A and B are shown apart, each in its own frame.
Chain A
């Protein structure tokens, strides 16, 4: 049967229409894909057929001020596993765990999980040592590969760890200058973009795009690694010697605010910081606050001089205490210092004298100077976690004002205290302490220099000069004697603050040298030393003296004072420990030394300075006595004349003799007579009568 032409034509028209509609729909779809969703789909496709691998930049080196590296980055191996390529997981895990010192079961579990989940690649151990890398290479395991990563090395180990800080596993700064100067040190990552097939394999003739990484810039610190080492060595020695809990030393150039050394002990090794307790990461020098004690008196004295409420030659009287709003505030020296000049108040570190000054200054003026010296606000040092200290003027009443005058009832950070001392050394100008000196590029060209300069004039040039002289006399004639350095003029101040836990102290010593042209200012703080005599001068003073002397020698600062005369006048301190106190006193007076006795009892248990130390004629030796017994044999019979029965019994027992008492009251006669030498356990017959 033939189909009529008209039917064929109609079918053709329908087909045409149908084709047209299909074409329009397809065109519409193409339009939709190309123009409406084009950008999005293009990106999705790009992600699918390219692999974008970031390239880690090399982190900048950190140098000390003399370009000695303190933190360096170097390329090391990281072990990566490709789970689909591992044939025998158990065997691989067993061999790898031995070579990389890892837990075998855990590694086995990780590998199996990754294999089950069909993961492309997983890290086994990142940034391994050369020995580990060699061991893994020897195993020649299938599915185990190496990639290169940058690892941070701190060649000086613990040295300056609280300034440097440390970096995390992805080379990001986590503490110290590593954190503060992260933006300069880290650099810009590069990338490799390459085309891949459906199984993420790189196409052999695919187009690669390579954007090179930009390495980080280098950082030069103000730290001098030799001075830093001296400070750490001496602080560590003092902590061991005095069985102290912790300590801090800061060395600063008072004119520029550059920190030459900053250390807290105990500390940690940033190479493996995770092996140390977190509290050891804490930079106590900037983050911890403490009651400064007498070292704070430099602020009170400066304010008093600047405001004219006292002149150096003004006379004061210390009865041993001061009464403020009905509260009795005692002097550290029992019985008081009596009549003394302003200079002697500072030399003797006399508390009632400073209370007097604070009262004369008044709250507002005193607070103005406390704030002026930078207390109650951060110094702006370029280290993380700086504390502001505790100073609340609204809560300062007359008693608080009085206690603040000698450094109790106010909390400061060591770096704030250092900054206030530097202000005096720097002719009254407050400088900002800082640890970064410059940012340099790989060719050593300076990109940026840090020199914050002075912030404000706190006290006048004249007052600062006056204070320098007074602090120098604290070292020459006062409590700061242990800071003396032969040939140099040293200015200093001691500090001893009792903590809220009775019997626990924080001792400090701070000073600068040469006093007339200060090159270095040093603060030493020792927390909770144990043992006999706990004074800033006796415990922190020797640390200050040694650090200052060694640093001045290292810097080539020539001694200016001729020391021959001093040498002739020097006397070696004899060993007085375990002696009856009266015998010890006699020996000291014969040697041309004066004596100060502390404690109750008749036997010397501690002495400062220690035996063998060289001191100048007429220096004071502090003897701490207790009621223990001596074991000296033979015993020299003491003179008991005028002593009570109890005193005589205690003395005779303390030196290992027996007493035979006749009568009561005061001793009048004794047998054997004084100065006779007898054996231990000899009986001494003492006659007493009511009238001496």
Chain B
């Protein structure tokens, strides 16, 4: 019977189609298993990395903080050293000391009136 044959053909066609599909899927399934694992591991690594990132950032911040503290205390030290040097400079520039060195060490003398020449600097 023609109708029944057609019907059979159609069924066979569908079966074949289905077979092809199943075959493809099987093929695909065999290929995707290692990919899937890799992705899984990659995801894990990503997550691990993501969890490390804030930790890393914390460590960077802490380190910066530490560096900042060190620099700040260095600045403080340098400042106080500067202050002391300023005092020392002022001590060395004391007018009585300079006069003493000029007169007694370098044998300098005050100029006579005739030795002074006045210039108009303006």
A residues whose Cβ falls under 8 Å from a Cβ of B? 68-69, 72-75, 130, 148, 153, 155-157, 159, 225-226, 229, 233, 486-487, 550, 553, 556, 558-559, 563
Contact partner of A69 among B80, B86, B116, CB < 8 A? B86
Closest to B121 in A: A556
**CB within 8 Å of A: which of B99-122?**
99, 110, 113, 116, 118
A159-B95, A229-B96 as given contacts; A153 in contact with B90, CB under 8 Å: yes
Closest to A563 in B: B113
Is chain A's interface secondary structure helix, strand, loop, or mixed overall?
mixed
CB of B91 within 8 Å of the partner chain: yes
Closest 4 CB pairs of A and B: A155-B90, A74-B83, A75-B80, A558-B118
CB of B93 within 8 Å of the partner chain: yes
CB of B87 within 8 Å of the partner chain: yes
Contact partner of B94 among A72, A159, A487, A550, CB < 8 A? A159
User: In angstroms, how far is the closest chain B Cβ from the Cβ of A329?
Assistant: 43
Question: Across the interface, do A486 and B96 meet the contact criterion of CB distance under 8 Å?
Answer: no
Measured between beta carbons, the chain A residues less than 8 angstroms from B95 are 156, 159, 225-226, 229
Cα of A492 to Cα of B87 in the assembled complex, Å:
40
CB of B84 within 8 Å of the partner chain: yes
Cα of A16 to Cα of B96 in the assembled complex, Å:
93
User: In angstroms, how far is the closest chain A Cβ from the Cβ of B98?
Assistant: 9
A156-B95, A157-B94, A559-B113 as given contacts; A130 in contact with B84, CB under 8 Å: yes
Contact partner of A553 among B79, B87, B94, B116, CB < 8 A? B116
Measured between beta carbons, the chain A residues less than 8 angstroms from B93 are 68, 155
Number of interface residues of B (CB under 8 A): 17
Measured between beta carbons, the chain B residues less than 8 angstroms from A130 are 84
Cα of A229 to Cα of B102 in the assembled complex, Å:
15
Question: Across the interface, do B94 and A156 meet the contact criterion of CB distance under 8 Å?
Answer: yes
Cα of A671 to Cα of B93 in the assembled complex, Å:
69
Measured between beta carbons, the chain B residues less than 8 angstroms from A148 are 80
Closest to B84 in A: A74
Q: Which of A72, A74, A157, A563 has the largest count of B CB atoms less than 10 A from its CB?
A: A74
Count CB-based A-B contacts (< 8 Å).
Answer: 52
Contact partner of A156 among B86, B96, B116, CB < 8 A? B96
Closest to B95 in A: A229
Cα of A258 to Cα of B5 in the assembled complex, Å:
132
Question: Across the interface, do B80 and A229 meet the contact criterion of CB distance under 8 Å?
Answer: no
User: In angstroms, how far is the closest chain B Cβ from the Cβ of A628?
Assistant: 37
Question: Across the interface, do A74 and B87 meet the contact criterion of CB distance under 8 Å?
Answer: yes
Contact partner of A486 among B86, B90, B113, CB < 8 A? B113
Q: A72-B83, A155-B87, A229-B99 are in contact. List 6 more A-B contacts (CB 8 A).
A: A69-B90, A73-B83, A75-B83, A153-B87, A159-B96, A225-B95
Cα of A75 to Cα of B80 in the assembled complex, Å:
6
**CB within 8 Å of A: which of B65-103?**
79-80, 83-84, 86-87, 90-91, 93-96, 99
Q: List 18 A-B contacts (CB under 8 A).
A: A68-B90, A69-B86, A72-B90, A74-B86, A74-B87, A75-B80, A75-B83, A148-B80, A153-B90, A156-B94, A156-B96, A157-B94, A159-B94, A159-B95, A229-B95, A486-B113, A556-B118, A558-B118
Measured between beta carbons, the chain B residues less than 8 angstroms from A559 are 113
A148-B80, A155-B91, A159-B94 as given contacts; A72 in contact with B86, CB under 8 Å: yes
Closest to A68 in B: B93
Cα of A553 to Cα of B93 in the assembled complex, Å:
21
Q: Which of A486, A550, A556 has the largest count of B CB atoms less than 10 A from its CB?
A: A556
Measured between beta carbons, the chain A residues less than 8 angstroms from B83 are 72-75
Measured between beta carbons, the chain A residues less than 8 angstroms from B86 are 69, 72, 74
Cα of A225 to Cα of B96 in the assembled complex, Å:
10
Cα of A156 to Cα of B84 in the assembled complex, Å:
15
Cα of A13 to Cα of B80 in the assembled complex, Å:
76
Cα of A225 to Cα of B86 in the assembled complex, Å:
17
Cα of A73 to Cα of B118 in the assembled complex, Å:
39
Measured between beta carbons, the chain B residues less than 8 angstroms from A487 are 113
Cα of A233 to Cα of B94 in the assembled complex, Å:
14
User: In angstroms, how far is the closest chain A Cβ from the Cβ of B74?
Assistant: 14
Closest to A228 in B: B95
Closest to B113 in A: A486
Cα of A650 to Cα of B11 in the assembled complex, Å:
174
User: In angstroms, how far is the closest chain A Cβ from the Cβ of B29?
Assistant: 55
Measured between beta carbons, the chain A residues less than 8 angstroms from B79 are 75
A155-B94, A553-B116, A556-B118 as given contacts; A72 in contact with B87, CB under 8 Å: yes
Closest to A58 in B: B83
Closest to A158 in B: B96
Q: Which of A130, A155, A157, A559 has the largest count of B CB atoms less than 10 A from its CB?
A: A155
Measured between beta carbons, the chain A residues less than 8 angstroms from B110 are 550
Cα of A550 to Cα of B91 in the assembled complex, Å:
23
Measured between beta carbons, the chain A residues less than 8 angstroms from B84 are 74-75, 130
Measured between beta carbons, the chain A residues less than 8 angstroms from B94 are 155-157, 159
Closest to A74 in B: B83
